[in-house]
Structure 1
Amino acid sequence: MGIKSFMGRRAKPTKGSSENITVSDYMSTNLITFKENQSVLEVMDTLIKKKISGAPVVNDKYELVGIISEGDCMKQISESRYHNHPMENLSVQNHMIKNVDTIDGNMNVFDAANKFLESKHRRFPIVKDGKLVGLISQKDVLKAALDLKGQTWK
């Protein structure tokens, strides 16, 4: 006896169905970004004022070079205090995450949800032709799910 699939034949996705909703539909494009030469103190101030937990770091060509988060800043606070060093001279380039995971803007937003669960990331940058074009957060995926409430999941 072989394995049987109970999925059945799938209908063609209809406009507005969960199959057609991509990361690009829900990503933020009006982004707060940082430069490598900015100070960590400046980053901390911006994170607090803008009520965000992290942001991409870009170069002058708007290419993604890293990401810096509250956690990265917390680490520097702890190390500066432990070594009794002032934080004024700390720059983003030495304290950001340089190996950044990105996702494709054409990915289905619910496939992106799986990427969040697998990676434990809070946000993913979206890059197109080498340039930063957007950012999707876990909250954006939740918004997509609410927009589809009442529909059957496909």
Structure 2
Amino acid sequence: MRKKERHQLIKKMITEEKLATQKDIQDRLEVRNVFVTQTTLSRDLREIGLIKVKKNGMVYYVLANETEKIDLVEFLSHHLEGVARAEFTLVLHTKLGEAAVLANIVDENKDEAILGTVAGANTLLVICRDQHVAKLMEERLLDLMKDE
């Protein structure tokens, strides 16, 4: 199966089921006689733009463009490994490869408190409207991350 076809199949599976792990996705692919390594699957998920969300006590993958109706700060808190603030800019540390996907989600949410983002491989800069907004977001992110 070609990569493009495999991506389409993964997208279809994600929209039809609440799959929580890469192993769940890999198992569903194998049922359809599609065999991929964990490395290939991980790369596929990044390229497709799949992210994990936590809703109603469940954690599962969704397509990044299906996150418009979320609490942005709560959503980010589930994907961060660290948070720091410099004046009106938040520096968010993520797992390798997640920063760009998260930046797209932040940008698509069009929150008036956020002017924009800049992403590296595992670092996301969130430029806030002012220092007050950045401080409030930092405090809330840190509180939510403690609860994890």
Normalising by structure 1, what TM-score?
0.28
TM-score scaled by length of structure 2: 0.29
Question: Could you say which structure has the larger radius of gyration?
Answer: 1
Q: Which has the higher contact order (CA 8 A, sep 6+)?
A: 1
Structure with greater helix percent:
2
